[in-house]
Amino acid sequence: MDTVHIAVVGAGVIGLSTAMCISQLVPRSSITVISDKFTPDTTSNVAAGMLIPHKYPDTPVPTLKQWFTETFQHLSEIAKSAEAVDAGVHLVSGWQVFRSVPHEEVPFWADVVLGFRKMTEAELKRFPQHIFGQAFTTLKCETSAYLPWLEKRIKEGGGLLLTRRIEDLWELQPSFDIVVNCSGLGSRQLVGDSTISPVRGQVLRVQAPWVKHFIRDGSGLTYVYPGTSYVTLGGTRQEGDWNLSPDAELSREIFSRCCALEPSLHRAYSIEEKVGLRPSRPDVRLQKELLVQGGQRLLVVHNYGHGSGGISVHWGSALEATRLVMEWIHTLRTPAPMSKM
Ligand SMILES: Cc1cc2nc3c(=O)[nH]c(=O)nc-3n(C[C@H](O)[C@H](O)[C@H](O)COP(=O)(O)OP(=O)(O)OC[C@H]3O[C@@H](n4cnc5c(N)ncnc54)[C@H](O)[C@@H]3O)c2cc1C
C-alpha cells in the first residue's frame, strides 16, 4: 500500500488538531476533514479557550496530565513564535479563588502551568468573599483564530476540507482506509454512544480592554477570561440541556456574578451572548475499533468526549489518536489473518 487515505470526521478543535497532527507525523498519508459544520459554527468556537484542565471521572489523572502537558508545551512554542497572533495563542496571568480551602490545595496541573503559587493575604483582599486562592500564568487559545489557523495549516499540508454530514461511518468505505471519529456530541447519533450528553454552557463576550488578569471562582462556574479581542464572562453548566438559544435571565445572572468578582465590568460594553454544548462523557473515548459488516472492514480511531476541557488537552489527545492511526497503518501494511486484528 502506498498512500493511506484517512478521513477525519469533525472540524472542532479535536478534529482539526488531530488532522494536523496526523499530516505532520504520518508519512504517505492523505487527510480529508469531513464535517457538517466548520468554524465559526462549532462548540469549540464558543469555548473561552483557557488552559485549565478538567477531570473526567473515568480518565486516569496521569493520562490527563500527559495530554495537558503536551498541549501546554505545544501551545507555548506557538505563543513564543511569530505565529502567536495568527494562531490566537497567548499567555495570561490571574487568580483562581475559593470560598473555602479546596480539598486539593495544589492541583495535579500545578507544575505544568507557570509560576503556580498560593495567593498572598494582600492579593486576597481584592476578593472579600474568598479565603483561599491560587495565582498562576497559563495560556489562552482563542479558537476564533486558532481553528482557521489549523484549517490553513491542514490545507497547506495538502489536506482537504469537505462540508458533509455523515449519517453512518460506513459511508466512508471504501474511499478511506482509516476513519478518525472526532464528531464530539455528534457521536451520540453517529456511533450510537448514549454515554455522551450535552452540558450546556452560556457565556458573554464583552469589551472591557482594561481587564488584564483572569479570575476564576474555584467552583468553575463563574469566570472572567480576558483575551485579545474580548473578555469572556461565564458561565453555566446545564447537564442534559440541548437548548442553543441564549437565555436573557441567565445572561443577567452571569453578568452580576462576574461583576461581583471584578466590579469594573459594570462599565463593559458591546455584550454578546454565546451558547455551546460541551460533549460530556465519563471518559474521553480514545481507542481503535474494527468494524466488520458483510465481509468488509472499517478501521476506526475514536477521539471524542472532551466535555469541559477539550481545548486544554487537545494536542495531547491528537498525539494519542495519531499513535493509534499509526498502529492501524502498521496493521494495513502487514498482511495478517483478520483474527489477529
Ligand atoms: C461555554 C463553554 C466554554 C468552554 N471553555 C473551555 C475552556 O476555557 N477551556 C477548555 O479546555 N475547554 C472549554 N470548553 C470545552 C470545549 O469547548 C470542548 O471540550 C471542545 O470544543 C470539544 O471539541 P470537539 O472538537 O470534540 O467538539 P466540537 O467543537 O463540537 O466539534 C465537533 C465537530 O463534529 C462535527 N460533527 C458532529 N457530528 C457530525 C456528523 N454526523 N457528520 C459530520 N460532522 C459531524 C461538528 O459539525 C463539529 O465540526 C468550553 C465549552 C463551552 C460550551
- CATH number for the domain spanning 149: value is 3.40.50.720
278 is an annotated ligand-binding site residue: yes
Residue 4 has pLDDT above 70, yes or no: yes
Distance 217 CA to ligand 1 centre (A): 23
Q: Using CA positions, which residue lies closest to atom 19 of ligand 1?
A: 310
Q: 52 vs 12, 91, 166, 317, CA distance in Å?
A: 19, 12, 32, 15
Residue 223 marked in a binding site = yes
Number of domains within the chain: 1
For 239, the grid coordinates are 447537564
Q: Which of 183, 190, 193 to probe ligand 1 with, by most ligand atoms within 8 A of CB?
A: 183
Residue 154's Cβ-count burial label (10 Å; 0-12, 13-18, 19+) is buried
Q: Stretch 183-192: mean pLDDT, rounded?
A: 98
Per cent of the chain over pLDDT 70 is 98
Test site for ligand 1: of 16, 21, 33, 35, most ligand atoms within 8 A of the Cβ: 35
Nearest CA to ligand 1 atom 44: 35
Share of the chain above pLDDT 90, in %: 96
Banded model confidence at residue 337, pLDDT cuts 50, 70, 90:
low
**Average pLDDT value for residue range 63-84:** 98
Residue 256: all three cell numbers together: 452580576
* Stretch 147-160: mean pLDDT: 97
Please give the number of the atom of ligand 1 that sits closest to the Cα of 274: 1
Q: How far is the CA of 237 from the CAs of 222, 250, 279, 326, in angstroms?
A: 10, 11, 12, 36
Instruction: Please give the pLDDT value at position 333.
Output: 85
Res 45 pLDDT > 90: yes
Length of the chain measured in residues: 341
Residues 6+ apart with CB under 8 A from 118: 105, 132, 133, 134, 135
Residue range of the domain that includes 305: 4-340
Q: Region 108-115: what's the mean pLDDT?
A: 98
| DSSP 8-state class, residue 119 | P
Average confidence score pLDDT of the chain: 96
Ligand 1 pocket: which of 112, 165, 278 to mutate (most atoms within 8 A of CB): 278
Cβ(187) to ligand 1 under 6 A? no
**What does the angle CA 272 – CA 136 – CA 304 come to, to the nearest 5 degrees?**
60
State which ligand 1 atom lies nearest to the alpha carbon of 13: 25
Q: What is the mean pLDDT of residues 98-114?
A: 96
Residue 63 annotated as binding site: no
Find the mean pLDDT for residues 317-338: 89
Q: For every residue of 244-307, which 3-state class applies, written as one string?
A: CCCCHHHHHHHHHHHHHHCHHHHHCEEEEEEEEEEEECCCCEEEEEEEEECCEEEEEEEEECCH
Atom of ligand 1 nearest to the CA of 14: 25
Q: What does the pLDDT read at residue 2? A: 86
The CA 116 to ligand 1 mean position distance, Å, reads 28
**Residue 89 CB–ligand 1 contact under 6 Å:** no
* 59 labelled ligand-binding: no
Can you tell me the distance from the alpha carbon of 326 to that of 22, in angstroms, rounded to the nearest whole number? 9
